[in-house]
Amino acid sequence: MRFRSIVLASAAFALLTGGAIAAATVHGIDTAAMDTSIKPGDDFYDYANGNWMKTAVIPPDLSSWGSFAMLAREVQLRNRGLMEEAGNAPEGSEARKVGDYYASFMDEAAIEKAGLTPLKSELDRIAAIKDAKEFAAEIGASQRIDVDPLNNTNFHTDHLFGIWVAPGFNDPTHYTPYMLQGGIGLPDRDYYLTGNAKMADIRTKYIAHIARVLTLMGMAEPAKKAQAIFDLEKKIADAQESRVDSEDILKANNAWKRADFAAKAQGFDWDAYFDAAGLSRQNNFIVWQPAAISSIASIVKITPIPAWRDYLAYHAVDDRSAFLPKAFADERFAFYSRTLSGTPQQAERWKRAVNATNAALGDAVGQLYVKRYFPASAKAKAVEIVSNLKTALKHRIDRLDWMNPATRAKAKEKVDAFYVGVGYPEKWRSYSAVKIVKGDALGNQLRAEEADYRYWTGRLGQTVDRGEWSMTPQTVNAVNLPLQNAVNIPAAILQPPFFDPDAPAAVNYGAIGVTMGHEITHSFDNQGAQFGPHGELTNWWTKQDFAHFTAAGDRLAKQYDGYKPFPDLAVNGKLTLGENIADLGGLNAAHDAWLASLHGKPAPMQAGFTGEQQFFLGYATVWRTKMREAALRRQILTNEHAPGQYRADNVRNVDAWYKAFDVKPGETLYLPPQSRVHIW
């Protein structure tokens, strides 16, 4: 289970020259984007977005373009202005840290002059490793907090082991350390193991990329060492569990005591690792992929230390390429963006600076963003929609004829216990422990990484704050946090095309209402349904009810298995199941909430469309997306979100859509009533 968010990534709305967001020219249905020559029942996505698809151009510095990307670029422009202004904030303030971090990233001359010097101490440590104990200590000393496997669209780590701190599966009231498989530089194990020509070509180019980085580092025999590094990663990839297997929460819930590591994962000096990682006092861990951790430990035992030194040195440099001289940054872009995602042009430096600053000092930027761009009136309206959605979902649960009263009561208890954060967190994170030095871009990043690691490991054993956010307010996305039974709806997504106070309610409920409903329904998807009202991993279902729920999910997965963007590559229905359940549940809950908001009055027409039609068109508009082929292939292989066109066409499972557009048998998307998937 990974990123229970509405979308896999974000970018921007229009290539503006200033920091202000352009006023929406259309409040509601964007008729110019539609292709009404297509029957809604044949291809609803193209009906709603066909003309946009014909004319939209993906910016050269992006791998995809669409509603999320468009808005995110506008927000990026806003953040640029805020960060530049923050450079004049009082010395020592968090705002000044934002400004100095941003300015340091923009100072290319200082970065060129520094070269690899900021990494010298780490590279010297790596070069001095003589034995297995020192190797394990270095792995621990360089350990950083890894992305949330419950909440990340492209989870993988090139740290040998991933460490994540979160509420415990079995004790959600306290923070617990999770250990995750890692050790690879490509996006997924399948990139190493799949035998087709496209993957073979990527592997060849990856080896060449490693060799070029080693050359830039001044290492001898770069081609030979690059091949050895790749071969080592391939062994690690072969030991890893697949993404679909890693989605199984019950398989992930493996409680290991501190002493279990030496017995269950032999070949690695765990004492040296835990001491160096600051985890020696932790006695209880959750090991997500135990077979992989054990196998990686055995690979350590049989691999000569010189090979590990080269591996660690390469990753220490390549991971920090964005903060290194231009040759390193350009090389990383050439492989990770151009080769893997088809992006032809590197983003302008200010865009990369904004992204880096957000990643390092997210809440500090968030405070600036909310103060400037998120009025209380917008929050109040969004909170009202959330309240209506929760009520609608409870009413839907009451009407489920297949659900046992005991299961129904637990489901409603879970809805009542939701924490839904709207706009921004109630408590901001402090960055007092982060030292920012103007002109020291890489040093700032290294100190920010270290502070983040200490922040999270310092929380181990403490009581969980259920109101803690995992997204910043300036993020164009939304997220469900199953271990907290919580949802975050950031301020940045609460604007057109997702939410527009001047648009008809039908459109708003179809766009932001479904987005919110999607996140709430994640608590009842194939994985979220295994967590209780307080985030505990528990079975609150009757056996018969869970069997019915699972069977319905299997039918939806099979439906998505039938979608083939390429002749040689289909959507993975199992991998995308959680997102597809959330889309379907969000559609139904938002539709009911919208109808209830009318209080029995008819919905006004707009541009010749009924309220029902506006609702579904608002939903389809959210999913307009163009992707480069390499990026789309990568998404299908590694991401739990199906391509936007298929998410929009999920309406084929909603009875109200058929009536709204008079969809008839024989049309491509038509499903007979008994074949439509109804879950929530």
Give the CATH number of the domain where residue 568 resides. 3.40.390.10
Burial class (CB in 10 A: 0-12, 13-18, 19+), 562: exposed
Predicted confidence at residue 28, as pLDDT, reads 85
What is the H or E stretch that residue 340 is in?
helix 340-341
Predicted confidence at residue 87, as pLDDT, reads 97
Helix runs in 417-475, H state only:
441-457
Last residue in a domain, options 322, 341, 361: 322
In the predicted structure, residue 67 carries a pLDDT above the cut 80: yes
Measure Cα distances from 133 to 136, 137, 287, 292 in Å. Answer: 5, 6, 22, 21
Q: Helix, strand or coil for residue 181?
A: strand
pLDDT grade for 156, boundaries at 50, 70 and 90? low
In the predicted structure, residue 2 carries a pLDDT above the cut 80: no
User: What integer best gives the mean pLDDT of the chain?
Assistant: 93
Contact 534, 652 (CB under 8 A): no
Residue 665 domain flag: yes
Residue 475 domain flag: no
Percent of the chain residues topping a pLDDT of 90: 91
Task: Output the six-digit token pair for 237.
Answer: 């990839």
Are 54 and 122 in the same domain?
Answer: no
Last residue in a domain, options 278, 306, 322: 322
Residue 185 domain flag: yes
pLDDT grade for 4, boundaries at 50, 70 and 90? low
d(CA 368, CA 350): 18
What is the tally of structural domains in the chain? Answer: 2
Measure Cα distances from 229 to 183, 208, 209, 551 in Å. Answer: 11, 11, 11, 44
Are 282 and 167 in the same domain?
Answer: yes
Instruction: Summarize pLDDT for 243-293 with one digit per residue, the tens.
Output: 888 888 899 999 999 999 999 999 999 999 999 999 999 999 999 999 999
In the predicted structure, residue 669 carries a pLDDT above the cut 70: yes
In the predicted structure, residue 11 carries a pLDDT above the cut 90: no
Are 260 and 142 in the same domain?
Answer: yes
Are 27 and 123 in the same domain?
Answer: no
Task: Output the six-digit token pair for 23.
Answer: 């006023």
pLDDT grade for 155, boundaries at 50, 70 and 90? low
Predicted confidence at residue 6, as pLDDT, reads 64
Residue 583 domain flag: yes
In the predicted structure, residue 24 carries a pLDDT above the cut 70: no
Are 150 and 269 in the same domain?
Answer: yes
Q: What residues make up the domain containing 29?
A: 1-85+376-418+494-680
Are 194 and 70 in the same domain?
Answer: no
pLDDT grade for 152, boundaries at 50, 70 and 90? low
Residue 104 domain flag: no
Are 202 and 306 in the same domain?
Answer: yes
Last residue in a domain, options 322, 345, 364: 322
Average pLDDT over residues 24-43: 88
Instruction: Summarize pLDDT for 80-95 with one digit per residue, the tens.
Output: 999 999 999 999 999 9
- Give the angle subtended at the CA of 511 by the CAs of 397 and 635, to the nearest 5°: 95
Instruction: Summarize pLDDT for 346-373 with one digit per residue, the tens.
Output: 999 999 999 999 999 999 999 999 999 9
Residue 290 domain flag: yes
Average pLDDT over residues 197-206: 96
Task: Output the six-digit token pair for 653.
Answer: 């499972």
Are 154 and 64 in the same domain?
Answer: no
Residue 338 domain flag: no
Instruction: Summarize pLDDT for 205-235 with one digit per residue, the tens.
Output: 999 999 999 999 999 999 999 999 999 999 9
Are 123 and 66 in the same domain?
Answer: no
In the predicted structure, residue 13 carries a pLDDT above the cut 90: no
Are 174 and 41 in the same domain?
Answer: no
In the predicted structure, residue 558 carries a pLDDT above the cut 60: yes
Residue 369 domain flag: no
CATH number for the domain harbouring residue 242: 1.10.1380.10
pLDDT grade for 501, boundaries at 50, 70 and 90? confident
Are 501 and 598 in the same domain?
Answer: yes
Burial class (CB in 10 A: 0-12, 13-18, 19+), 163: buried
Predicted confidence at residue 1, as pLDDT, reads 35
Q: Helix, strand or coil for residue 481?
A: strand
Contacts of residue 599, Cβ cutoff 8 Å, sequence gap at least 6? none
d(CA 188, CA 234): 11
Contact 227, 208 (CB under 8 A): no
Are 306 and 176 in the same domain?
Answer: yes
Average pLDDT over residues 366-392: 95
Predicted confidence at residue 26, as pLDDT, reads 65
